[in-house]
Amino acid sequence: MGRLKLRGSDLRKMGYPQGKVIGLAINLVGKAYKRSSLIEKLDLLKSILEKPENFLENETLGRIAEALIAPTIKNMEIPLKEEGENYPVFGSEQIEEGARKQMDVAMKLPVTIAGALMPDAHQGYGLPIGGVLATENSVIPFGVGVDIGCRMCLSIYQMPENYINRHTNILRKYLGDNTVFGAGNGFDKPMDDAILDRKEFNEISVVRGLKDKAYKQIGSSGSGNHFVEFGEIEILDESNEFNLPIGKYVGVLSHSGSRGLGATIAKHFTDLAISICHLPKEAKHLAWLDLDKEEGMEYWLAMNLAGDYASACHDQIHKRLGKALGEKPLAVVENHHNFAWKEMLNGKEVIVHRKGATPAQKDVLGIIPGSMTAPGFIVRGKGNEDAINSASHGAGRQMSRRQARESITKSELKKLLKSNQIDLIGGGLDEAPIAYKDINKVMSFQKNLIEVIGKFTPRVVRMDGD
């Protein structure tokens, strides 16, 4: 008696691709065509393979046809628009060509609605740092960035005149005792936090194994340009939201993101986006996830978890230092600058990616830092829709890290720090102030985007490094 059952080897010889479709075909045809001979089943499967589109309406065989067609559709390269959308460039005279080219490519994505380039912009991966991109119902992991939810936080304290000058050594000790920096590092005894009880740690597979790392690193800061510093604050606008008199105060300013949690989420979903959203080579890192599909919804939830975790890290940094100072802050200002938001633009809901850009909706407060020797600013947004309600996130680099290390000497950095009365703990040559653009010039290019209500001058700075 001849063999009646289908085998995977039969289908592979016929040309069926390795994978789930073979098991699906054997199962469905085996059940639905029990009385057919093996030859009849094989002939049927061959017909489906050759012209799957002819079987899409069939209640049973349509599932096999869809499984055969889906990989073809999935692997098709998505073409860019021939002409990209126009976008404004703020401070165009100081923005490098590489950043412009990256933004030009981003504006050709089929999902792009609008874009803008901030005056601190420079080349990155995918979307340039300082790039703002509004898309339709889609999120680009590299449009958010690797350090999801990287943010600024400023606490304002009422302290005696010349407090920092008279207590520099003790402030250095406070920073040494209450901050931790560097990739993979965390506190020996981390503080607990409600963020660690979030349901996403159980519901999202990529996040499930990261809770212990998140606990260890909570309240700590990364490497690179992340910092925690004491400085002098000057309130300049008498109608400020804090109801503080014009005058001088002491501030604690921090800059860091979502640590290993955010980095792992970013890598996983960037790789996933690239694997399912096939774009031309120049746009590869702009692959997006559809928010109507499971992958996009999972990234959105994980991204928001990482953003809230970054906020919790800053909250702990400021609680530790406030306790050391023995003071409660008069006011706190904070904002993300590596994130995506659902916002309305010209009457339509869009996804706004701000990769190294500060939210600047009307009357929204934010912080734009300078370098370790240059002032930062407390700003109020003007809600400029041409800029997609955004502003710069800092001064922006004018030298790569490698260029800075190769062209700046330690003696030059020491001299610069001394002349600006900066006491630095850690920090490498790649973060030397000379590597950054002039923050005052950057601010001059965005007067239509924000108004300055306060100024922060760094004095005691801690960064990663010896």
If you average pLDDT over every residue of the chain, what do you get?
Answer: 94
Cα end-to-end span (Å), the chain: 80
Q: Please, where are the H alpha helices in 156-258?
A: 163-166, 168-178, 200-203, 205-208, 211-217
Instruction: Tell me whether strands 357-359 and 138-139 are parallel, antiparallel or unpaired.
Output: unpaired
Do the Cβ atoms of 101 and 285 come closer than 8 Å?
A: no
Question: How crowded is the C-beta side of 276, counted as CA atoms within 13 Å?
Answer: 15
pLDDT tens digits, residue range 304-321? 999 999 999 999 999 999
pLDDT at res. 74: 53
Q: Is it true that domain 142-463 has CATH number 3.40.50.1000? A: no
Backbone phi, then psi, for 441, in 5-degree steps?
-70, -40
Amino acid found at 308: D
Alpha-carbon distance of 355 to 257, in angstroms, equals 13
What lies within 8 Å, CB to CB, of 323 at 6+ separation is none
Q: Say what percent of the chain tops pLDDT 70.
A: 98
The first and second tokens of residue 153, run together, are: 């936080």
Residue 343 pLDDT exceeds 60: yes
pLDDT in tens, 172-199: 999 999 999 998 899 999 999 999 999 9
What does the block give as tokens for 409?
A: 């000497």
Supply 13's token pair. 């010889």
Measure the CA–CA gap between 30 and 22, rounded to whole angstroms.
12
State mean pLDDT over 346-366.
97
3-state class (DSSP) for residue 253 = strand
Write the DSSP assignment of 388-407 as a string of letters.
TSEEESSS-BSS-HHHHHHH
Which has the minimum average pLDDT: 75-84, 120-129, 427-436, 442-451? 75-84
| 3-class state of residue 234 by DSSP | strand
pLDDT for residue 348 = 95
pLDDT of residue 1: 41
Q: Which tokens sit at 42?
A: 């094989």
251 phi and psi angles, rounded to 5 deg: -130, 155
Sign of CA dihedral 50, 51, 56, 61: negative
Q: Is the distance from CB of 273 to CB of 109 less than 8 angstroms?
A: no
pLDDT tens per residue across span 129-171: 999 999 999 999 999 999 999 999 999 999 998 999 999 999 9
Helix (H) or strand (E) holding 299: helix 294-325
Strand partners, 68: none
Q: Are 375 and 456 in contact (CB under 8 A)?
A: yes
Confidence at residue 20, expressed as pLDDT on a 0 to 100 scale: 84
Helix (H) or strand (E) holding 102: helix 97-106
Joined tokens for residue 115? 């874009």
- Residues 232-247 have a mean pLDDT of 95
| Overall average pLDDT of the 399-417 stretch | 92
Residue 458's region, left for phi above 0, alpha for psi from -120 to 50, else beta, is beta
Using alpha carbons, select from 224, 252, 241 the residue that is nearest to residue 153: 252
pLDDT at 72: 56
* Cα 330 to Cα 321: distance, rounded to the nearest angstrom: 14
Q: What pLDDT is recorded for position 247?
A: 96
Residues in Cβ contact with 318 at an 8 Å cutoff, skipping those fewer than 6 apart = 153, 155, 252, 254, 329, 332
For 82-125, the pLDDT digits (tens) are 999 999 999 999 999 999 999 999 999 999 999 999 999 999 98
Residues sharing a CB contact under 8 Å with residue 283, sequence separation 6 or more, in sequence order: 80, 105, 106, 108, 109
So where are the chain's domains?
8-74, 142-463
Burial environment of residue 434 by CB neighbours within 10 A (0 to 12, 13 to 18, 19 or more): middle
Does the pLDDT at position 466 exceed 60?
no
Which pLDDT band holds residue 3 (cuts at 50, 70, 90)? low
